[in-house]
Structure 1
């Protein structure tokens, strides 16, 4: 037999506190519904209003009150259960650990220093950029095109301009 974990014990304690409230709510709803049906049945057999009043007073009004009380108890039980679940989630999030104090910036997608361009394209890429890697038409860019500023650096792989090219204008 396995031993219960502390979080399971706390969860079962919360549920055992909510169960009586929910059972009382269902009992009140069921009793109220039965009383309303009895009152309606009794009233329906009487022709005169003064003979219907006892059924109204003894069954229908208390039945409606029990239905309202059952609905309130049910809502209260659900809110207690929801509060217990939120507390449990909070405990899980707090005890899960905090993130490391220092966060690293995401690494670049590509790390190669070789530069390629696609003929007819407007960007220059690193050789291992996902937009240029494996494409047979990718060729090294012409130094004249880089010097005139006809190409821009790829925003995905963020290549460094070659030493012969001027820095790109943004």
Structure 2
């Protein structure tokens, strides 16, 4: 995938650099020819034959290099996206040949400690990460985490409310002793 896209981008970049070099040489030749002539009518042929085409080549080179740079960046983004969403079972196998155990199953929601997003368990950003933890509903309610833009967990995926960690204290019930 990467080499096919780059084969289309590299000739554009090379053409841009060649046009830039040729345009610069033509501009220098035109300047050199004009600088040796005292009268304007003798300078016009140098302008018409060297300087104007040289400037046009420099502008064309800028367009080609900008287009080639954007296409190269797009190719890199596509490659990274392909790596991100590739979920082949062979990729999940560890180096010793054993398959990695899934972190969570079903509609579980996960988060990475220190992260800013919450994900579904099958999200490629957290799948196979041992540090991924189940999302606490209190964290979601607090607004500390945003939904992942890749797996797009919905509100219906929210985990049920967890019971409070601390039991209520009976001594604060207002009974005087």
Same fold (TM over 0.5): yes
1:105 & 1:24 partners in 2: Cα distance?
52
2:58 maps to 67
Gaps of 5+ in 2: 89-103, 110-133, 139-163
Does 1:21 find its partner at 2:27?
Answer: no
Q: 1:71 to 1:163 in 2, by over 3 A?
A: same
Structure number with larger C-alpha Rg: 1
1:107 CA displacement: 9.5
Give the structure-2-normalised TM-score: 0.54
Does 1:106 find its partner at 2:136?
Answer: yes
Gaps of 5+ in 1: 1-9, 109-156
Q: CA RMSD in A?
A: 2.7
Give the structure-1-normalised TM-score: 0.56
Match among 54, 68, 75 for residue 77 of structure 1: 68
2:173 & 2:2 partners in 1: Cα distance?
65
- Give deviations 1:23-67, integer Å, cap 9, x for gaps: 110000000000000000100111110000000000000000100
Does 1:55 find its partner at 2:61?
Answer: no
1:83 & 1:102 partners in 2: Cα distance?
33
Count of aligned pairs:
109
1:111-130 correspondence to structure 2 within 5 Å? none
Match among 149, 154, 167 for residue 160 of structure 1: 167
